[in-house]
Amino acid sequence: MNDQSSIVGRPLDRVDGPLKTCGVARYAAEFFPSNLAYAVIVQSTVPAGKVRLDVSAARAMPGVVFILTHDNAPELPQKGRGAVNPPAGRTLSLMQDDDVHYNGEPIAVVVADTFEIASEAASRIRVDYATAPASLSFEQAKSSAYKPEKLTRDQPDKSWGDVDAGLGAAAVRVDHVYTTSMEHHNPMEPHATVAHWEGDRLTVYDATQYVSGVRETLSKTLGVPVEKIRVVDPFVGGGFGCKGSAWSHVALAALVARAAQRPVKLVMARWQMFGPVGGRPRTEQRVLLAAQRDGKLTALRHDVISHTSVMEDYAEASTAPTRALYACESGAVTQRLVKLNVGVPTFQRAPGESTGTFAVESAMDELAYELGMDPVALRLRNYAEAEPSTGKPFTSKRLRECYALAARKFGWARRNPKPGSMRDGRQLIGWGMATATYPAHRQPASASARLLRDGTVLVQSGTHDLGTGTYTIMTQIAADALGMPFERVRFELGDTMMPKAPVSGGSTTASSVGPAVQEACRALREKIVNAAIADGGSPLYRAAATDVDLRDGTLVARNGRRETLGALASRQSAPIEAKGDAKPDEAQKTASRSFGALFVEVRVDPATGVLRVPRVVAAYTVGRLMNAKTARSQLQGGIVWGLSQALFEKSLLDERYGRFVNGNLAEYHVPVNADIQAIDVDFVDENDTAFNPLGARGIGEIGITGVAGAVANAVFHATGKRIRDLPITLDKLIA
């Protein structure tokens, strides 16, 4: 898969690992400008209505610096709403009026000398409401479902071929509804912002996946020129989509810092992660598959309803995998929304793809049983060489090899297909499988590279490391392009003072920023060679550029003369530097996706319904690997989250009051170490240079896709019970 002499692809340790293990890495909340004050958000406790606040008791407390409410908030451009289209910005709650749109919406901010004083003062604010009717029942709101204007990257409705004719030609149909729950992100690092004004210039330290997006949102929201705003975030303690947008707390921190005339730190509490900073919406998905007796699909339909907020439309694109996975000449997909008085939903790891693959992969398993066909054979019978909904050929696809590799390692050939036929003592054993997929995306990105006086190279781009290994893989890409040892290259990120990069979401960072880093370093390498052959003090003076190479940090001519980069750099009057830009082909006539095959074993106790997943075997085709170790870690982490979606995660909304009753990590269940056992991840060699010069596609999100479907299919094989509603809790298995 990778050139053995290449640094790219090697399983190198993370360059940021020692900083994190030694506590040196600084996250957003760990920046402390002098004279720092602390802010606490007060949130609404009703889902709809008007609010009236009495802050007199809070204001009278010693140490309270400022209290922001709708009564004293400055009027903002566009009333602070819709400043930047997602994912850079959302419809924000910035106290421009007295309206309440959901339970948990920010309605005041208290600033004090200490966090403790701010918290106590917040509790002393008296809040009265004129309540209004709220929409909180998904089931009731479905009657008012409507078509959104657009999805993130496609139209909400799409059809191809003749679905009615396809249905008429079918011998077998499956037609079922699959549902997924509301979920909320819980990264280890909650959202946090430190805002610091120096005159009319604003510096923000923010926990974000998009420093440039935060900068643009603040500029348009506050009416401050973008060049007067700097956003910094060198380390992100997990994001998964919730930090891809600039939420209300970011602008609120800037507003109160300006009013207080002091730097202000605002850190969201764990329970404040449920509502004000997004989450995965609930979905109801009807999937209809029609096929001939040999398994060939003749028609498919996928109709999705998901919830959004009353403030802004957000559509969970659960039909996305249906448009791309299986060859079918006739298909139709639709997306509909229902408005609820809850916080604005947002991207959550593999948005649309993770929920959509649960429905589609469950339906494919049901069709396999109706046909008496092996689930892998059914998928191979409908293998798509081109994207079904568009007809575009894939830039690269090796999914067949993934099925073969993972099935062999799992031992799929030994599976007895009859439900309930496999046991270990009293435990029921189930084997299930599913396809994983996620689209490959690229966005414009820039990077710079500079030869320093000591002969090392500094490479910069305003991208992000969410714990995914960006620092490491960009260093590998740079070292390879330069012809330098890995240890002689330093990569920096997370600052809007650096060349602009896109949001670190949608699995775009490696595929977008990587080519820009590669281009910058190749350009720098050329400049270094030209500087050496033009330098009268260099042993390479007047050599032909084509006769000079840069290897292991040393310039080497064909005639054997050589010079270290440190020696060359010491004689230069100015640093040697270069910039690289990379962007996708806007006229792309191909489709790009990553794929994988998942095989899962479950064990179910028929008396108690207790379910365990002792092993998962998966194989992926994701383009060229940048780092084998971080790639495997990424995909294992995604699989863990897929197991969490399948078995644990559900945000429980109290439909009387609009509050999430399990809004904390004590009751919002996620897996712990004891829940996770063997996860075997492997790769099929691939180098997708038709997609980008690196041959790499992103891997941050594909790991979660298909997992819930594979688990549900394994549960059916074990028990004969088809669970179409996530999560699969024990009550559904013993009912």
C-alpha–C-alpha distance, residues 568 and 581, integer Å: 26
Measured CA distances, 404 to 574, 598, 623, 628, 683 (Å) = 56, 11, 18, 21, 12
Q: How confident is the model at residue 80 (pLDDT cuts 50, 70, 90)?
A: confident
Is pLDDT of 364 > 90?
A: yes
pLDDT of residue 1: 43
Is pLDDT of 254 > 60?
A: yes
User: What fold characterizes domain 28-133+188-273?
Assistant: Aldehyde Oxidoreductase; domain 4 (3.30.365)
pLDDT of residue 79: 80
Report the pLDDT averaged over residues 498-505: 97
pLDDT of residue 61: 98
Query: Do 620 and 635 touch, CB atoms closer than 8 A?
Result: yes
What does pLDDT average to over the chain?
96
pLDDT of residue 84: 59
pLDDT of residue 226: 97
At the top level of CATH, which class does the domain 352-441+590-734 belong to?
alpha beta
Report the pLDDT averaged over residues 683-690: 97
pLDDT of residue 2: 47
pLDDT of residue 88: 62
Is pLDDT of 90 > 90?
A: no
Report the pLDDT averaged over residues 284-295: 98
Q: Is 701 a catalytic residue?
A: yes
486 contacts: CB under 8 Å, gap ≥ 6: 7, 12, 475, 476, 479
Is pLDDT of 353 > 50?
A: yes
pLDDT of residue 14: 97
Percent of the chain predicted with pLDDT > 90: 96
Query: Do 28 and 485 touch, CB atoms closer than 8 A?
Result: no
pLDDT of residue 86: 67
Tokens of 457: 């190279």
Burial classification of residue 24, based on how many CB atoms lie within 10 Å of its CB (0-12 exposed, 13-18 middle, 19 or more buried): exposed
47 contacts: CB under 8 Å, gap ≥ 6: 100, 101, 102, 103, 134, 136, 341, 342, 657, 658
pLDDT of residue 4: 63
pLDDT of residue 498: 98
Active-site residue, from 189, 284, 366, 701: 701
Query: Do 76 and 94 touch, CB atoms closer than 8 A?
Result: yes
Give tens-digit pLDDT for 216-247: 999 999 999 999 999 999 999 999 999 999 99
Measured CA distances, 680 to 340, 426, 617, 683, 714 (Å) = 40, 26, 5, 10, 17
User: What fold characterizes domain 17-24+443-582?
Assistant: Aldehyde Oxidoreductase; domain 4 (3.30.365)
Is pTM beyond 0.95 here? yes
Give the domain ranges of the chain. Answer: 17-24+443-582, 28-133+188-273, 352-441+590-734
C-alpha–C-alpha distance, residues 512 and 514, integer Å: 6
Write out the H or E segment, with its range, that includes residue 410: helix 399-410
For residues 609-619, one letter each, b for 16 or more C-beta atoms within 10 angstroms of the residue's C-beta and e for the rest, the string is bebebeebbbb
Closest CA to 733 of 601, 603, 599, 600: 603
Beta sheet of 158-160, edge-to-edge order:
158-160, 331-340, 297-309, 283-291, 172-180
Three-state secondary structure call for residue 714: helix
C-alpha–C-alpha distance, residues 375 and 116, integer Å: 58
3-state secondary structure 295-344: CCEEEEEEEEEEEEECCCCCCCCCCCHHHCCECCCCEEEEEEEEEECCCC
Query: Do 591 and 584 touch, CB atoms closer than 8 A?
Result: no
**Can 17-24+443-582 and 352-441+590-734 be said to share one CATH topology?**
yes
3-state secondary structure 425-464: CCEEEEEEEEEEEEECCCCCEEEEEEECCCCCEEEECECC
Q: How confident is the model at residue 330 (pLDDT cuts 50, 70, 90)?
A: very high
C-alpha–C-alpha distance, residues 411 and 141, integer Å: 46
Is pLDDT of 82 > 70?
A: no
pLDDT of residue 78: 81
Measured CA distances, 593 to 324, 348, 563 (Å) = 9, 19, 44
Percent of the chain predicted with pLDDT > 70: 98
Q: How confident is the model at residue 152 (pLDDT cuts 50, 70, 90)?
A: confident
Is pLDDT of 560 > 60?
A: yes
Report the pLDDT averaged over residues 2-28: 92
585 contacts: CB under 8 Å, gap ≥ 6: none
In 511-610, DSSP assigns E strands to: 548-551, 554-557, 562-564, 576-582, 593-604
